[in-house]
Structure 1
Amino acid sequence: PIEDALHALVNGRGGSIGGISAGLAVLGFGYFAASNGTVYSGSALNDPYNEDMDVRYGDFLRLPFMNSVITDSHYDDPDRKGRHVAFLSRLVTDHGIAALGIGCNEYTAVCIGEDGFAHCYGEYPQYQEQVYFLRPTCLDVSAPDCQQGIPLDWGFEGGALNVYVVDATEPGNRGLDLNDWSTGIGGDWENWWVEDGELMISEMSEEPECSVSSVNSVIDFSELEMEFIEIKNLSGGDFSIRLPISTSITISDMSGRIIQNLGEMSAGEHFVRGLNSAGCIIVNAKNRELQSVVYCD
């Protein structure tokens, strides 16, 4: 239900969403679930399948320009480059995709425009605030040697990942085009690879010669055979729900916690009272032919 409402906001109504820390983690198609707590770079590289490495893909948000992307935050406190590379190795191994990554130092922001350009905001040079864009190299190399209980090995210098490092500034005019992951402004390219569980980094003299893409098909709800719940604000904070078909309805807060179960409701208009202090809520339909909606009083 939460993802339905967010997809409707972004893909259907042209809205924007963002997040910090765990909120950033879930914006990619892939994400680190942290179900057993955090994981550090050393342990992630030493065993990419250790019990703390809960890496998932494709079961939550599917946002524009985030296909095959897994994010990470607090990149510099502590150093999370290694664990981020381990996340990517898991996506490549488990799902057979050309995994991509966006990593953010603390106090930076990445804003992706409708054109797919990722603008990087921060206070460099006053502070060392960088954003990292991780992508596959152009070389035809073997997949990472990513196995349980064995330190990760991935490629060689120039043969695993190309990484675009952007110094994030207040104007936000530096960044990378996520349509091709090779056209950047104001950054520098690096090679990253892993030898026996140790992350290696070297400078690149020029940008990658090939393009990759994180562009996914944006959902056009006008082309889907879906119907919508209509919500009307009434006096006193009450509202009405109009259903085009019969379905079971629940109401949850923005964290996904169900605050009212309305049960099975027939097609037509229904009146709901007593939620005027709930702020923004999500009206969820059990019938998947109906799109969930967000309502704010």
Structure 2
Amino acid sequence: MRKLFPLFLLLMICRLDSIAQYTLWSIGSANDTITSPTPCTLLMGGATEDDQAMTKFLQYADHGDIVVIRTSGADGYNTYLYSDLGVQVNSVQTILIPSIADANDSFVVQTVRNAEALWIAGGDQWTYVSNWKNTALNAAINHLINVRHVPVGGTSAGMAIMSEFYNSAQGGSAQSPVVLANPYDPTVTIGSSDFLHNSFLNDMITDTHFDYYNRQGRLMTFIARAWKDSNRKINAIACDEYTGVFIDTNYKATVFGGKPSADDNAYFLRVDCAGNNAIESCVSGTPLNWKQDSTVVKVYKIQSDSSGTQYFDLRNFGTNPTYTNNGGTWQDWWVNQGTFNFKPGTALLCTPLTLLDEEESTLRVTVSPNPFYSSVQLELNLSAAASLRWVVSDMAGRIVLISGGFKKYQKGYTGQTIEFNSPLRQGVYVLEIQNESGESIIHRLIKQ
């Protein structure tokens, strides 16, 4: 990582001009280093970090330079990451970035872009959304994730903004009793697809401090709102305090924490793919009602420990949830007239997709170019009008792009462009075109 500051061990810089007022604290070497970090994502539920999870995070940085960003607080991570965990790194820099001007400052942006690992501290996620979204810093973070493929992670508010869907907290902290009574309470402000782009967390929302604030009800509300407002059945990861979820390139989400001395847990939520899971009522001013047969959301709960052997396979959020998990138990969650409920449950059991033979279908599809770089063009030929939507997944079954709701197409030829605005890794992807009867046509896409 190229250094942009004249220091050897410890330096604090404060810019006090009208353009930017960031603060930088740094510890470590001022010499450049070239390393080969391994991509991963680490989610921490708040309070103090789990040392085992943070140690693994630093190991994936391959002795490089660690950057911590935040909008409040100070340099508490520097010594902890530089020396306390016993993993050799070249330097640790913490940058206080409390304004849009700071988030567009060239020094700040270049420092972040050059990192071998990025950690987003806790705080108030609305200050992250309001000051960082759509800035040069936002682009730099996505560059680290999708171009340089370095380790990224966050705790508390830093975890809350990591996923494709997020609650911005613009209206303050959402409280379960309040939002269950009114899922359109002003504290529920769901953003999506417009901030951080991390393929590990596509089609997902995260929540933190889960045990301390009894946040099961609000997370169910977030998921219901995403479905109601965006027509997306999203998944979720939630962490108790002192609990970490380490996600590697095999989509294994390993849980670290304090068992047996503490009852700290991680939760992996998916809308049930069997039976009736429709929301009965999600409207403003009326209690959320989402119960059906009391199995509307399936939850895999793992009590965390230091072994690194307990995990959830995130490929079970895909179209074929048959992958092995370890160390947890299944629960069923539902909401009855504004009251959250749960019970011991059974594992996901999804019905395989019905695939149509195009020779027997009313739909013919041509895809070009294939291989592709950033977009593909669909040429649809329908022998009868139909409502369709499309989903693009990676080979692990994780959704990387979705059209949203069903769109009505008329009989005959029509074109549809799919733009991949977030960078994709090279490889093979699956395009699934679905009709409202649950039938699908599959095409394989090759990303160059």
**TM-score computed with the length of structure 1 as normaliser:** 0.70
Distance (whole Å) between structure 1 residues aligned to residue 350 and residue 277 of structure 2: 17
Distance (whole Å) between structure 2 residues aligned to residue 13 and residue 131 of structure 1: 28
Q: How does 1:44-193 map to 2 (within 5 A)?
A: 44-144=179-279, 145-181=281-317, 182=321, 183-193=324-334
Give how far 1:209 is off.
Answer: 1.2
Task: Give the counterpart of 2:349 among 190, 209, 220.
Answer: 209
Give how far 1:140 is off.
Answer: 4.0
Aligned 8 A contact 2:170 2:187 in 1: yes
Give how far 1:141 is off.
Answer: 2.2
Task: Give the counterpart of 1:27 among 159, 162, 180.
Answer: 162
Q: Larger relative contact order (C-alpha < 8 A, sep ≥ 6)?
A: 1
Distance (whole Å) between structure 1 residues aligned to residue 237 and residue 231 of structure 2: 19
Percent of aligned positions that are identical = 31
SS at match of 1:83: helix
**TM-score computed with the length of structure 2 as normaliser:** 0.47
**Cα-Cα RMSD:** 2.1
Distance (whole Å) between structure 2 residues aligned to residue 222 and residue 201 of structure 1: 41
1:197 is aligned to 2:338: yes
More helix by share: 2
The corresponding residue for 1:279 is none
The corresponding residue for 1:294 is none
Task: Give the counterpart of 2:423 among 204, 219, 224.
Answer: 219
Give how far 1:8 is off.
Answer: 1.4
Give how far 1:31 is off.
Answer: 0.4
SS at match of 2:153: coil
Count of aligned positions:
222
Distance (whole Å) between structure 2 residues aligned to residue 43 and residue 129 of structure 1: 25
Distance (whole Å) between structure 1 residues aligned to residue 185 and residue 241 of structure 2: 26
Distance (whole Å) between structure 1 residues aligned to residue 398 and residue 243 of structure 2: 21
Letter in structure 2 aligned against 1:104: C
Letter in structure 1 aligned against 2:177: G
The CA deviation string for residues 19-40 of structure 1, in whole angstroms up to 9 with x for no partner, is 1111111111000111121111
Unaligned runs of 5+ in 2: 1-135, 352-395, 402-421, 428-448
Aligned 8 A contact 2:277 2:292 in 1: no
Distance (whole Å) between structure 2 residues aligned to residue 147 and residue 77 of structure 1: 28
Give how far 1:6 is off.
Answer: 1.5
Give how far 1:195 is off.
Answer: 0.4
Give how far 1:56 is off.
Answer: 1.4
Instruction: Report which stretch shifted further, 103-112 or 8-17.
Output: 8-17
Distance (whole Å) between structure 2 residues aligned to residue 220 and residue 37 of structure 1: 34
The corresponding residue for 1:36 is 171
Aligned 8 A contact 2:299 2:333 in 1: yes
The corresponding residue for 1:269 is none
Give how far 1:3 is off.
Answer: 2.8
The corresponding residue for 1:244 is none
Letter in structure 1 aligned against 2:340: L
Unaligned runs of 5+ in 1: 224-297
Q: How does 1:227-246 map to 2 (within 5 A)?
A: none
Give how far 1:88 is off.
Answer: 0.5
The corresponding residue for 2:404 is none
Distance (whole Å) between structure 1 residues aligned to residue 426 and residue 245 of structure 2: 29
The CA deviation string for residues 130-175 of structure 1, in whole angstroms up to 9 with x for no partner, is 0001101122425322100000011334431000000111122212
